[in-house]
Every structure is written in structure tokens, then in C-alpha cells.
């Protein structure tokens, strides 16, 4: 599924968060979105699954323009595009298995099955698949534990398992490592690479920790600043100058700027 | 938990509920037949007769004073007990265990049972009421204080110690500074609770407006009863509101930044309550202390236990438990829709929410025993009256808890479910419902625990359960039977309390 983004612009109030973005992402690419907070990377990502409706421009997924007004079409799109979050967004007081099974909720079902799922009864085949995926993310033994008893890294793997239940062609990840330590963060990105290799899934990751941007995990980096696309290339091509243009002067911002009133 | 075990537990729960409804004679027909009595009762209540308004004010003053004095003395005793009973502060394990077990026993005895004992041993009147409130307060408040002390962070304490500070400074700046807002919150809650309790202690002769109310009820002076009920409700809702507001200020002080305003408000509140307490019921500390030896004498008369009717009492205890279960289930059914209407994040038009809110406040303010004495005239002298009474009162709490839970729903997983392309109904079940159900069950269990205690007292006004035998044994001076019944209550309430708290810990 190719993603084509054409002339995309979006304003929140007076603030322009996306300014005429043009971009094509081929199936199976491993893309990182980088940029300062407020640079528009999350907004760009969220317009791919219809959480944000752009003001101008269009996104074409798999040759089909997203019609943001049609709820049905947006739902069908979302069923194919999975999402992973910074704060995991899990239901803490239920089991790992239930959380993973909720990944199938966008699937088309006949009425009787839909009613059963609405009452909390999933099909055996779904449960089997959920357990297989939990095996893949190495959480097979935790399936009937409550999510609130897990560590941060384990929670993120549950969230990834939920996303994999959708058998997504595209996997969006909004700062999936920001709440984890570097070591765990690397494991999560490695998992994304593994998913990418296995299913040829496109992965798009918004990421803040520069030390995690390497060709091991990504084959393309897209840099945004003030809503404009200012870098698009291989991780190797990220020079000090480019980083400065994206993040401003890194050294000075650490040393010279003082905290305002908090 | 294993799926099969879970299904089996649900099946058992289902049959237990059916059994409870049967034992406590819950019946729609009784309700329909009682409808006419209900209408007649309300007709006779109107217009309310305020001729004795001065007496009502006098009695209300006395009742509030009972609650205030009981809370003040209860607080003074509970503070050191709470300090010594906290796991992190107790001098040694023995003191910790002794205090905790002692207050567990104190807490398992319903307030009105204390009142009965003190009426018998000290005298009929408000002194017995104050004593009863003191004992009930110690049981509850010490427990709350222990929780407050246990929640403090020990790291700053070590920091203070490391400055070479003395014990008193450490106590003041390290421990109390941290626990103070929780302690004040619980104390205010107890004050509110105690004034409500004081309203009904008169039903067994322990002073306050309850005595007069029960008297008028027996002479079928329903217009006077109505006048008193209206006054009681006004005072109780007023106190409920002021106490909620004050607790809000204490717990979320950052919300109300006006330090000066805060302090003035609290000062006026305490001054007003203190004045009422002193004007209407100057504390007779002498007679209070003089009464204590007589309590000892009466308690000595409780032994040896008379186990002659233990089987009969055992059955009544089962009926009591059944009543509590039926009342809890009924309250859950009432509270679910109300809770959803009250939750601010659910779209409901404002007038509906305000009306429902006031109704729920009314249910909470009205003590269950007062509901019971009215309901026995509608559905007859049966456990069903007690069940309904408890269910109505508890709905006042449960609906509020439910609403707060729904308001605290985490929106993050909802977004995650939306991102899968899921339908609204599926999001409702898997996103919202799954989040709130464990918390709902936790509240339900807590209420069940509370309701067992409440249902042991319903029999005092003929609304079923063991309470009837309790009051009869006292009236017939069969104190050794009284003791057996009280012991039975302590055992059953403690067991249910332990089971409920075990499951609550698992849920939350």
C-alpha cells in the first residue's frame, strides 16, 4: 500500500502545523518522522488514519483518496492501518489477552458474530491468533495477567500485539519509545524491524530520541520544522547542519536558554 | 483466574442472589399492594404540622451537638491510636496487631447497637448517644487515620532526622505535615456521618430528635412526623454539602488558591458547629466518665453467653445476610442509570442532571433506618422493608461513586480502539465498560460489607433480620442472649468484611 501525500496543509486556530507537504511512502519502508515538539510530525501521522482532517491537499492510500467525510471509509482505512502510542493506551484493569483481542474490533463481521463480540465473546480462531502474536512479542506466558501488573516495555509489546491483530499493511507509531529507557526502546524498534521484514509492513514512527535513529531501525528519515518538510533521506545523510536546521542549535539551547516561569 | 472457575463463581453468585430475594421476601406484589398505603401516608403527612417548631429546633440542636461532641472526643482518642497502629510508625508488631484487631471489632458493631448497650447501662438520653458515637467513631476514624499515616512518604522523615532534629519537630514537620490533609478530610467526613447517625439513635432512646420522631410515628401523628422529616433533611443536606465543600478545599487546595478565604471558611464552620454543640448540649464530662463503670457492670451481666437459641439466631443471621445481598443488588440496579446521568462526561441535558443530582443527595442524606420506619407502614413488617430502605439509602452513595468512576475514564484506550476502525457499540463495551466494571465491583463489594452491618439493625423497627431479637432480648432483660447476638454480629460482619476487602484488593 503506497501512501501519497499531496499539498497537505493544516491549521489549528491561527497556527499553521502543516505547510504544503508532498511525500510518497512506498510499501515496506521504515520511516522515521523527526522534529521539535509542535513541528507537525504527529499531525501528519494522524492525518494518515483520519484522526486529523487536513484543510488543504489530499492523501492517497493504495491508489484511493481518503474521503474524510465518509465515516465508513475512514473506518475501513483504520482497520488496515494500525497505531501504537507513547502511553500505550491500554485498558489497564483487563487482561493482556483482552487488550490484544480488541485489535480485531475493526474487522468486518456478520451480525451474529458482531453481537457476540459486543458481549465479550471472541472466536476461538481470534484467540489462537492473539496467543500466537503474544508468542511473537515474547509475552505468551502473560496472556491472562492484568495489564497494570506489567512493566512499561511489556505494556508496549502488548500494544504492538494489539496492532498486529489488525494484520496492518501500515503501522503508525507515535513516540513509542518516549516512555521507555533506551535499552527497552531499542528492543521495541527492533521488533518493528522484525515485523517489517516478516510481513513487509510499512512502519512510520514519530521519534524524539536522536540516538535511536540509525539504519538498523529506519531506512528513511523525514525532518519537519514549523510544518515544513525540510529533510527527506537516509539516516546516514543526517549531518550536524541538517540536525541544526531541524532542531535549532542543539548546544546553545541546552546551555543558554533558561527555563521560564513554571 | 481460570475461565471455568469464573463461570462457576458467577453461577453461584446468581443462585445466591435468587435465594436472597426469596429469603428477604422481596415481592413486587407487596409493593403494588403497598402503593395505596403509601399514598394514604403521604396524604396524612400533608400539610406538615410545624406547631412544635421550637421543640424541633431544640431537638435538632441537641442532635447536632451529639454528633459534634462524639466526633471531637472520638478524634482525640483515635489520633494516638491511629499513630500507634500505622504499620510504618508503630513501636512494635504487638502494638500494631492489637490496635488493628481492636478497631476491627469496634467497627463490626453497628452504631445503634452501641446506643442500645449504653441506654441500658448508663441512662436513656443523649449521653448514651454521645457514648455510642464515640465508640463507633473510634472504630472508623482510627482505621482512616492509620491509612493516612501509612500513606506518608518516609523519605522526608529521614531527611528531617538527618538535620539532627528532635522527635517533636520530626512529628510536627515530617509526619503531621504530610498526613494532615487526609486526616482533616476523614474527620470532616466522620462529622457529617455522625450527625446523620445521631438523628436515628433516638429510635432506641439514645437522645436527639429520633426519640420524638419515633414517638409521633407510634401515635400516627404523620403531619408532625412530616414536619420533623423535612427539618432533618434540610439540616442533613446542608451539612452534607458544607462538608463536601470543605473537604474539596482541604484535598485540592491548589484549586482554591485563596488561602485567607479557605481558613476563614473553615474557621466559621468549626465555630458554628462548636457554638451549636455548647448551646444545645453542654458536655457533661463528669456524668460521661461516671457512666463508664456502669457500662462495665452491664457488660459483666452479658456473661456467660446464653447459647440456648443459637440455631434460631443463626437462621436470622442468614436472613440478615440475605437482606444485605438483596439490598446491594437492588441498589446496583437503581444506581447504574443514575450514575450515567450524573457523570459530567456523558451528554445529558442540565435540568435532568440537576434533578437527578438532588434526588441522589436526598437518598444519601436520609438515614436508612428512617427510610425503614416509613417503609414498614407501606410494605408491612417484613425484611422487604429493610431491603428497600437500605437499597434506597445506598443508591445515594453508589450512584455518586459510579458517576465519579465514569468521569475518571481514561480516554487513551478509547482512541486506540477508534484507530482500529471499531464500531461505537464495540467501543462502548470493550473501551468504556471494561474499564469501569472492576471499579464498580469494588464499590459494590464495599457496599455489601456496609449493608450487612446496616441490615443487622433493621429489625429494631420491624424491618427484618436479627435486629428484632436483639431489641427484644434487651427489653426482656435477657442480656446473655443479647451478648450472643452481638457476638454473632461481630463474627459475621468481620468475616464478610475480610472477604470483601480481599476481593476489592484484587479488583483495583
Express each pLDDT in A29-74 by its tens digit.
999 999 998 889 999 999 998 889 999 999 999 999 999 998 888 8
Q: B58 pLDDT exceeds 60?
A: yes
Q: What is the dihedral of CA A161, A166, A170, A175, to 10 degrees?
A: -40
Q: What is the architecture of the domain spanning B50-283?
A: Orthogonal Bundle (1.10)
Residues in B 383-412 with any Cβ partner in A closer than 8 A: 410, 412
Determine phi and psi for A59, rounding to 5 degrees: -120, 130
Determine phi and psi for A113, rounding to 5 degrees: -70, -35
pLDDT at A262: 38
pLDDT at A261: 44
Number of neighbouring beta carbons within 10 Å of residue B257: 8
For residue B412, give the nearest of A85, A94, A120 by CB distance. Answer: A85
Class of domain B17-46+301-508: mainly alpha
Q: Write the pLDDT tens digit of every residue in B354-377.
A: 999 999 989 998 899 999 988 988
Q: Where are the alpha helices (H) located in B422-478, listed in sequence order?
A: 424-427, 434-455, 467-475
Distance from CA of A104 to the nearest CA of B (A): 7
Residues of chain A in contact with residue B7, where contact means CB-CB under 8 angstroms, are none
Exposed e or buried b for every residue in B31-40, given b needs 16+ CB within 10 A?
eeebeeeeee
Cα nearest neighbour of A71 on chain B: B421
Residues of chain B in contact with residue A75, where contact means CB-CB under 8 angstroms, are 421-423
Cα nearest neighbour of A108 on chain B: B422
Q: Write the pLDDT tens digit of every residue in B448-468.
A: 999 999 999 999 888 989 999
Residues of chain B in contact with residue A113, where contact means CB-CB under 8 angstroms, are none
Cα nearest neighbour of A89 on chain B: B413
Predicted confidence band at B1 (pLDDT cuts at 50, 70, 90)? low
Q: In whole angstroms, give the CA distance from residue B339 to residue A142.
A: 34
B254 at A interface, C-beta within 8 A: no
Residues B60, B232: contact at Cβ < 8 Å?
yes
pLDDT at B259: 64
Would you call A89 and B421 a contact, using CB atoms and an 8 Å cutoff?
no
Would you call B421 and A79 a contact, using CB atoms and an 8 Å cutoff?
yes
Q: What is the mean pLDDT of residues B224-240?
A: 90
Q: What is the mean pLDDT of residues B43-57?
A: 87
Q: A240 pLDDT exceeds 60?
A: yes
pLDDT at B247: 82
Predicted confidence band at B133 (pLDDT cuts at 50, 70, 90)? very high
Q: Write the pLDDT tens digit of every residue in B371-410.
A: 998 898 888 889 999 999 999 999 999 999 999 999 888 8
3-state DSSP helix/strand/coil % of chain B, to nearest 5: 80, 0, 20
Q: What is the mean pLDDT of residues A8-12?
A: 93
- A interface mutation test: which of B416, B429, B437 has the most A CBs within 10 A? B416
Would you call B426 and A118 a contact, using CB atoms and an 8 Å cutoff?
yes
Q: Write the pLDDT tens digit of every residue in B182-193.
A: 888 899 899 999
Q: In whole angstroms, give the CA distance from residue A47 to residue A26.
A: 17
Lowest-pLDDT choice from A4-13, B155-164, B215-224, B296-305: B155-164
Residues B295, B472: contact at Cβ < 8 Å?
no
Say which DSSP state B255 is in: T
- Cis peptide preceding B47, ω within 30 of 0: yes
Q: Write the pLDDT tens digit of every residue in A185-235.
A: 999 999 999 999 999 999 999 998 888 998 899 999 999 999 999 999 999
Residues B68, B273: contact at Cβ < 8 Å?
yes
Q: What's the pTM value of the predicted model, to 2 decimals?
A: 0.80
Residues of chain B in contact with residue A85, where contact means CB-CB under 8 angstroms, are 412, 415-416
Would you call A93 and B438 a contact, using CB atoms and an 8 Å cutoff?
yes
Q: Write the pLDDT tens digit of every residue in B250-260.
A: 776 554 456 66
- In the β-sheet with A228-233, what is the strand arrangement from edge to edge? A81-84, A170-174, A202-206, A30-34, A220-225, A228-233
Q: In whole angstroms, give the CA distance from residue A97 to residue A107.
A: 17
Q: B34 pLDDT exceeds 60?
A: yes
pLDDT at A260: 47
B258 at A interface, C-beta within 8 A: no
B432 at A interface, C-beta within 8 A: no
Q: In whole angstroms, give the CA distance from residue B409 to residue B401.
A: 13
Q: B152 pLDDT exceeds 70?
A: yes
Please give the domain boundaries of chain A with CATH numbers for all domains: 3-255 (3.40.50.300)
Residues of chain B in contact with residue A120, where contact means CB-CB under 8 angstroms, are 429-430
Distance from CA of B37 to the nearest CA of A (A): 42
Q: To which residue does cell 434526588 refer?
A: B359
B381 at A interface, C-beta within 8 A: no
- In the β-sheet with A64-65, what is the strand arrangement from edge to edge? A15-25, A3-12, A56-61, A64-65
pLDDT at A96: 93
A7 at B interface, C-beta within 8 A: no
Q: In whole angstroms, give the CA distance from residue B297 to residue B285.
A: 20
Instruction: Tell me the three cell numbers of residue B93.
Output: 508488631
ipTM, interface predicted TM-score of the complex: 0.77
Chain Cα centroid distance, residue A201? 12
Q: A259 pLDDT exceeds 70?
A: no
Q: What is the mean pLDDT of residues A119-138?
A: 90
A148 at B interface, C-beta within 8 A: no
Q: A104 pLDDT exceeds 80?
A: yes
Domain ranges of chain B: 17-46+301-508, 50-283
Exposed e or buried b for every residue in A208-225, given b needs 16+ CB within 10 A?
eeeebbeeebbbbbbbbb
B330: left (phi over 0), alpha (psi -120 to 50) or beta: alpha
Residues of chain B in contact with residue A93, where contact means CB-CB under 8 angstroms, are 434-435, 437-439, 507-508
Closest of B100, B128, B96, B127 to residue B112, by C-alpha:
B128
Residues of chain B in contact with residue A88, where contact means CB-CB under 8 angstroms, are 412
Lowest-pLDDT choice from A103-117, B106-120, B487-501: A103-117
Report the percentage of chain B scoring pLDDT > 70: 97
How many degrees, rounded to 5, is the angle at CA A101 between CA A96 and CA A105? 145
| Three-class DSSP category at B440 | helix
Q: What is the CA radius of gyration of chain B?
A: 24
Q: Tell me which of A93 and B500 has the higher pLDDT.
A: B500
Amino acid at each position: 500500500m503506497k501512501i501519497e501525500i499531496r499539498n497537505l496543509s493544516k491549521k489549528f486556530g491561527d497556527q499553521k502545523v502543516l505547510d504544503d507537504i508532498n511525500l510518497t511512502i512506498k510499501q515496506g519502508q521504515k520511516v522515521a518522522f523527526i522534529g521539535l515538539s509542535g513541528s507537525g510530525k504527529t499531525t501528519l501521522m494522524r492525518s494518515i488514519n483520519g484522526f486529523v482532517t487536513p484543510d488543504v491537499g489530499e492523501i492517497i492510500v493504495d491508489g484511493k483518496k481518503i474521503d474524510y467525510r465518509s465515516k465508513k471509509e475512514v473506518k475501513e482505512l483504520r482497520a488496515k492501518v494500525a497505531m501504537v502510542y507513547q502511553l500505550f493506551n491500554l485498558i489497564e484493569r483487563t487482561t493482556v489477552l483482552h487488550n490484544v483481542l480488541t485489535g480485531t474490533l475493526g474487522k468486518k463481521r456478520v451480525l451474529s458474530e458482531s453481537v457476540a463480540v459486543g458481549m465479550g465473546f471472541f472466536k476461538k480462531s481470534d484467540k489462537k491468533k492473539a496467543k500466537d502474536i503474544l508468542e511473537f512479542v515474547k509475552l505468551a506466558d502473560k496472556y491472562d495477567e492484568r495489564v497494570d501488573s506489567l512493566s512499561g516495555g511489556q505494556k508496549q509489546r502488548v500494544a504492538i500485539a494489539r496492532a498486529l491483530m489488525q494484520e496492518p499493511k501500515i503501522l503508525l507509531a507515535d513516540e513509542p519509545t518516549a516512555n521507555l529507557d533506551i535499552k527497552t526502546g531499542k528492543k521495541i524498534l527492533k521488533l518493528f524491524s522484525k515485523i517489517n521484514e516478516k510481513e513487509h509492513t510499512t512502519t512510520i514512527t514519530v521519534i524524539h530520541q536522536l540516538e535511536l535513529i540509525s539504519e538498523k531501525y529506519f531506512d528513511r528519515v523525514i525532518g519537519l520544522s514549523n510544518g515544513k518538510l525540510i529533510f527527506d533521506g537516509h539516516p546516514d545523510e543526517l549531518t550536524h547542519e541538517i540536525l541544526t536546521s531541524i532542531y535549532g542549535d542543539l548546544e546553545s539551547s541546552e546551555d543558554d536558554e533558561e527555563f521560564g516561569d513554571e | 483466574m481460570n475461565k471455568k472457575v469464573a463461570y462457576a463463581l458467577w453461577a453461584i453468585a446468581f443462585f445466591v442472589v435468587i435465594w436472597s430475594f426469596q429469603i428477604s421476601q422481596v415481592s413486587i406484589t407487596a409493593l403494588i399492594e403497598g402503593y395505596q398505603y403509601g399514598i394514604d401516608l403521604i396524604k396524612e403527612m400533608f400539610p406538615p404540622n410545624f406547631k412544635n417548631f421550637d421543640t424541633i429546633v431544640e431537638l435538632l440542636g441537641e442532635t447536632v451537638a451529639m454528633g459534634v461532641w462524639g466526633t471531637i472526643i472520638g478524634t482525640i482518642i483515635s489520633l494516638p491510636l491511629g499513630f500507634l497502629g500505622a504499620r510504618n510508625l508503630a513501636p512494635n508488631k504487638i502494638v500494631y496487631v492489637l490496635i488493628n484487631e481492636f478497631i476491627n471489632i469496634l467497627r463490626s458493631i453497628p452504631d445503634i447497637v452501641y446506643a442500645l448497650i449504653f441506654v441500658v447501662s448508663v441512662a436513656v438520653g443523649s449521653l448514651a448517644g454521645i457514648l455510642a458515637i464515640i465508640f463507633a467513631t473510634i472504630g472508623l476514624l482510627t482505621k482512616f487515620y492509620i491509612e493516612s499515616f501509612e500513606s506518608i512518604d518516609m523519605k522526608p522523615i529521614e531527611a528531617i532526622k538527618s538535620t539532627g532534629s528532635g522527635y517533636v519537630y520530626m512529628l510536627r514537620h515530617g509526619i503531621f505535615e504530610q498526613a494532615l490533609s487526609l486526616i482533616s478530610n476523614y474527620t470532616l467526613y466522620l462529622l457529617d456521618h455522625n450527625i446523620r447517625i445521631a438523628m436515628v439513635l433516638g429510635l432506641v432512646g439514645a437522645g436527639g430528635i429520633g426519640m420524638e420522631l419515633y414517638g409521633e410515628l407510634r401515635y400516627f401523628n404523620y403531619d408532625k412526623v412530616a414536619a420533623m422529616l423535612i427539618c432533618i433533611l434540610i439540616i442533613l443536606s446542608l451539612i452534607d454539602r458544607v462538608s463536601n465543600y470543605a473537604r474539596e478545599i482541604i484535598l485540592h487546595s491548589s484549586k482554591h488558591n485563596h488561602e485567607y478565604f479557605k481558613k476563614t471558611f473553615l474557621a466559621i464552620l468549626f465555630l458554628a458547629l462548636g457554638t451549636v454543640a455548647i448551646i444545645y448540649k453542654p458536655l457533661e464530662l463528669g456524668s460521661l466518665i461516671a457512666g463508664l463503670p456502669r457500662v462495665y457492670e452491664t457488660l459483666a451481666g452479658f456473661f456467660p453467653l446464653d447459647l440456648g437459641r443459637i440455631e434460631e439466631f443463626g437462621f436470622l443471621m442468614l436472613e440478615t445476610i440475605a437482606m444485605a445481598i438483596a439490598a446491594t443488588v437492588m441498589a446496583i440496579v437503581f444506581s447504574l442509570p443514575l450514575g450515567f446521568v450524573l457523570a459530567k462526561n456523558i451528554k445529558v441535558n442540565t435540568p435532568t442532571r440537576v434533578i437527578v443530582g438532588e434526588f441522589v443527595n436526598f437518598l444519601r442524606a436520609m438515614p436508612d433506618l428512617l427510610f425503614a420506619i416509613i417503609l414498614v407502614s407501606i410494605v408491612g413488617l417484613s425484611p422487604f422493608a429493610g431491603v428497600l430502605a437500605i437499597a434506597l439509602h445506598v443508591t445515594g452513595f453508589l450512584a455518586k461513586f459510579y458517576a465519579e468512576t465514569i468521569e475518571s475514564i481514561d480516554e487513551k484506550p478509547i482512541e486506540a480502539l477508534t484507530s482500529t476502525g471499531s464500531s461505537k457499540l464495540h467501543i462502548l463495551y470493550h473501551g468504556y465498560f471494561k474499564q469501569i466494571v472492576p471499579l464498580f465491583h469494588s464499590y459494590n463489594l464495599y457496599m455489601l460489607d456496609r449493608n450487612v452491618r446496616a441490615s443487622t439493625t433493621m429489625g429494631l423497627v420491624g424491618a427484618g433480620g436479627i435486629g428484632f431479637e436483639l431489641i427484644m432480648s434487651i427489653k426482656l432483660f435477657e442480656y446473655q442472649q443479647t451478648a450472643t447476638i452481638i457476638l454473632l454480629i461481630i463474627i459475621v460482619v468481620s468475616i464478610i468484611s475480610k472477604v470483601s476487602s480481599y476481593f476489592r484488593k484484587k479488583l483495583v
